[in-house]
Amino acid sequence: MRSRFRYAFAATSVIAGLGVVTACSSDPGTEPTSSPTSTTSERSETPTAAPGSVAVSPGGVTTAVGAPADSTEDEYYKACTAAREWMAQQGGDPHDQIEPFLGMLQSSDSAGPATYGTPWSQLSAPRQAAVIVAVRAAADALCG
């Protein structure tokens, strides 16, 4: 149980840190939205979501969940590895495969290692956040 807490804390810290970086890089003429759903349009920015909300790409894919990530180290490794293998099969820059992979997971009722054996639609917000963390780590070759 302790490793689960450590991972959730570390992932939350990473997501929170990315939010600070993203907030600092915003255009001066734009203001943050207070709506529960926001959109992202550039791959170079890591999407973030305020607590209790989600970030959705223009293509309709959830790219960030405003909840602390919750998975065990083993679940994280399996999800990251599954995403990394899929990305390698697609070819090209793995970062370009993040949204297509997440879209595939979100549009299917199937379950596998990338979603901890549970369909995306049945995952809690913290579990969805953990999937997204693992998929981003896969693109960065940080599966462990």
Please check whether residue 30 is in contact with residue 24, taking contact to mean a CB–CB distance below 8 angstroms: no
The CA distance from 19 to 21, in Å, is 5
The two tokens of residue 18 are 């990315």
Confidence check: pLDDT of 21 > 90: no
Closest CA to 78 of 115, 39, 24: 115
Task: Give the residue extent of every domain in the chain.
Answer: 2-65, 73-139
pLDDT digits (tens, 9 = 90+) for 52-105: 999 999 999 999 999 999 999 999 999 999 999 999 999 999 999 999 999 999
